[in-house]
Amino acid sequence: MDNDYIKSIHLKDKLLLHPYENLKDRGTYDRHLMLNADGIYLYDENGKKYIDGPGGMWCNNIGHGNKEIAEAVKKQMEKMDYASPFSESTEPAAELASVIADLTPGDLNTVFFTTDGSTANDSALRFVMLYNNIIGRPNKKHIITRDKAYHGSTYLTGSITGKDREKNFFDFEKNFIHHIGNPDPYRRSSEQSEEEFCKEKVSEFENKIIELGPDNVAAFIAEPIMASGGCIVPPENYLKEFWKICKKYDILFIADEVVTAFGRLGHFFSSEKIFGITPDIITTAKGITSGYMPLGALIISDRLMEQVRKESTLLFHGFTYSGHPACCAAALKNIEIMKRDKILDHVKSISPYFMDKLKNLNDIPIVGDVRGMGLMAGIECVIDKESKDPLTLDKAIGSRIDQESLKLGLIIRPLYHICVLSPALIINKNQIDDLVQKLQLSINKAMNQIKDEGLWVKSNNE
Ligand code: PLP
């Protein structure tokens, strides 16, 4: 491709403020410009091929470059580009609502479309407020969420997110939002069994409800597996116990399946199939279109919808692009392909191989934990396997691994000292071998750098 053209794109890109961009360094470097995509791979301006380790942002489920989805979107746009969801309906939105209602557990049959995961979670919280107002419980408004959770980037979802970096630099809502501890079994005390750790978390939740007063607590929101919190897989039965407590105190359980739905864990939705729970509300996005078009959804139980039917109140909530026909057409084709090509069966059969291969990384002295489920994984680096001290920011281990893996043609998504992976669900064994080998080399190189620079003060496991 013409060099001057590429240069001009890099210059224009400096006008673009990217998500999570470092405001200080902004404009001082060129990002990799991705020009093509195919399967699990992305190709940059020099034609260099990269394994897309995080599958975009946990969203590229059926793989890149799918022509059938492109065709479905084109066909819909040519037939009928847009009609207002406030007053009319469209074929793809209605079809998709019905397909989703069939895939969700229990009586979750009412689908509200949003533009992404943040607006799905924001809408869920707004619905919860409306619900309690309509049924005459105006005080039941408090929301319980968890440390390290990520639920989005609107004001409200930024507030229920449990990461200090997302909250501290913005003002956030504190009056009715409460954070409890996250369920990371790797970080439990050495004297505790996983079962005891789970019990502790469950008690913490129940105590928080009692402290706030059950009549004041509206909902608990949780990702079944915390994604950007570092791929945290909770102890067995943790979610079920939380769900039972929600039932006991009449608190709504919102499952944020923005990442864990649409095949990531081998099922269309994981709440019931894997964790044995039927939430009151499920939110989803990302894999619903495999990232080809922006779309989110909120699926509400019949029980709740019946209760709000009692009053003649407008929903007073909606987006111009709720159920955008082209986005819904992409989602319909995406789900059709997943079913036709038995992609969920593939995830079920290949994920043990994926995890087994990744577990080999445990042999590296700075790798403390390798965890995951389905095709999502987290590799946590620590300076000392015993004390589990994370490699701190000043050593920038995540970005060092990132730099090294990019050289080798692998994109990872470093979250400080944790590398997270969620490749396209069509990944095969050879590609897994390649990915793991590249990651192994990158972590070793980064480790040697901090050793050479005298930053690795402890030298255990050597
Ligand atoms: N919920 C979870 C679990 C997520 O991982 C994300 C994004 O990464 C979101 C919500 C927000 O989704 P979006 O970026 O589509 O708004």
Distance CA 81, CA 71 (A): 14
Cα first-last separation, the chain: 47
pLDDT band at 170 (very low <50, low <70, confident <90, very high): confident
Choose the residue to mutate in 258, 260, 321, 420 for probing ligand 1, maximizing ligand atoms within 8 Å of C-beta.
258
Nearest ligand 1 atom to the CA of 257 is: 3
227 lines ligand 1 (CB under 6 A): yes
Across the chain, what does the average pLDDT equal?
95
* Whole-number Å distance between alpha carbons of 217 and 180: 14
Q: Is the minimum distance from the CB of 150 to ligand 1 under 6 angstroms?
A: yes
Count of beta carbons in the 10 Å neighbourhood of residue 168: 9
Burial class, 138, CB count within 10 angstroms (exposed 0-12 / middle 13-18 / buried 19+): exposed
Cβ–ligand 1 distance for 222 under 6 Å, the answer: no
Q: Residue 459 corresponds to which tokens in the numbers above?
A: 């030298």
Nearest-angstrom CA–CA distance, 134 and 251: 16
* Domain 68-340 -> CATH class: alpha beta
Q: Does the beta carbon of 151 lie inside 6 Å of ligand 1?
A: yes
pLDDT confidence bin for 393, thresholds 50/70/90 = low
Both tokens assigned to 104: 């969700």
Q: Give the distance (Å) from ligand 1 centre to CA of residue 158.
A: 10
Question: Among 61, 121, 150, which residue has the most ligand 1 atoms within 8 Å of its CB, making it the best to mutate?
Answer: 150
Cβ–ligand 1 contact at 223 (below 6 Å): yes
Amino acid type, 365: P
CA of 120 to the centre of ligand 1 (A): 9
> Residues 251-277: pLDDT tens digits?
999 999 999 999 999 999 999 999 999
CA of 336 to the centre of ligand 1 (A): 23
**What are the C-alpha distances in Å from 255 to residues 27, 57, 115, 299?**
38, 19, 18, 10
Domain 32-62+342-460 part of CATH 3.90.1150.10: yes
Q: Answer whether residue 1 shows pLDDT above 80.
A: no
Separation of 150 CA from ligand 1 center, angstroms?
Answer: 7
Percent of the chain at pLDDT exceeding 70: 97
Reported as a single tens digit per residue, the pLDDT across 334-360 is 999 999 999 999 999 999 999 999 999
Residue 282 phi/psi, 5-degree rounding, is -115, 135
pLDDT at 390 over 90: no
pLDDT digits (tens, 9 = 90+) for 290-309: 999 999 999 999 999 999 99
Domain with CATH 3.90.1150.10 in the chain: 32-62+342-460
Q: Is 118 in the pocket of ligand 1 (CB under 6 A)?
A: yes
Smallest CA separation from ligand 1 atom 13, residue: 117
**Rounded CA separation 227/415 (Å):** 11
pLDDT for 163 equals: 78
Please tell me the residue having the least CA distance from ligand 1 atom 12.
117
Task: Calculate the CA 332 to chain-centre distance.
Answer: 21
Say if residues 388 and 186 touch (Cβ distance below 8 Å). yes
**What confidence score (pLDDT) does residue 455 get?**
81
DSSP structure class, residue 115: S
Rounded to the nearest angstrom, the distance between the alpha carbon of 351 and the centre of ligand 1 is 23
Distance 259 CA to ligand 1 centre (A): 7
From CA 409, how far away is CA 275, in angstroms rounded? 35
> Among residues 58, 36, 52, 31, which one has the least CA distance to residue 410?
52
Q: How confident is the model at residue 454 (pLDDT cuts 50, 70, 90)?
A: confident
> What is the mean pLDDT of the segment spanning 30-57?
97
Write out the residue limits of the CATH 3.40.640.10 domain(s) in the chain.
68-340
* Tokens 């990442």 found at: 259
Q: Tell me the chain's radius of gyration from C-alpha atoms.
A: 22
Question: What mean pLDDT comes out for the span 432-438?
Answer: 98
Distance CA 406, CA 31 (A): 12
Alpha-carbon distance of 194 to 144, in angstroms, equals 23
What pLDDT score does 461 carry? Answer: 45
Tell the burial category of 19 from Cβ atoms under 10 Å away from its Cβ (0-12, 13-18, 19+): exposed
354: buried, middle or exposed (CB in 10 Å: 19+, 13-18, 0-12)?
buried
As given in the structure block, the two tokens for residue 271 are 């709440």
Q: What is the pLDDT of residue 164?
A: 73
pLDDT of residue 166: 66
DSSP-assigned beta bridge partners for residue 177: 143
Whether 462 has a pLDDT exceeding 60, the answer reads no
The token pair that represents 198 in the structure block = 């789970």
Does ligand 1 have an atom closer than 6 angstroms to the CB of 116? yes
The finding on whether 298 has its CB within 6 A of some atom of ligand 1 is: no
Lowest mean pLDDT among 148-162, 264-278, 299-313, 446-460: 446-460
User: For ligand 1, what atom is nearest to the CA of residue 223?
Assistant: 3
Average pLDDT estimate for 229-244: 97
Please work out whether the CB of residue 326 comes within 6 Å of at least one atom of ligand 1: no
Residues 197-212 have a mean pLDDT of 98
pLDDT at 426 over 80: yes
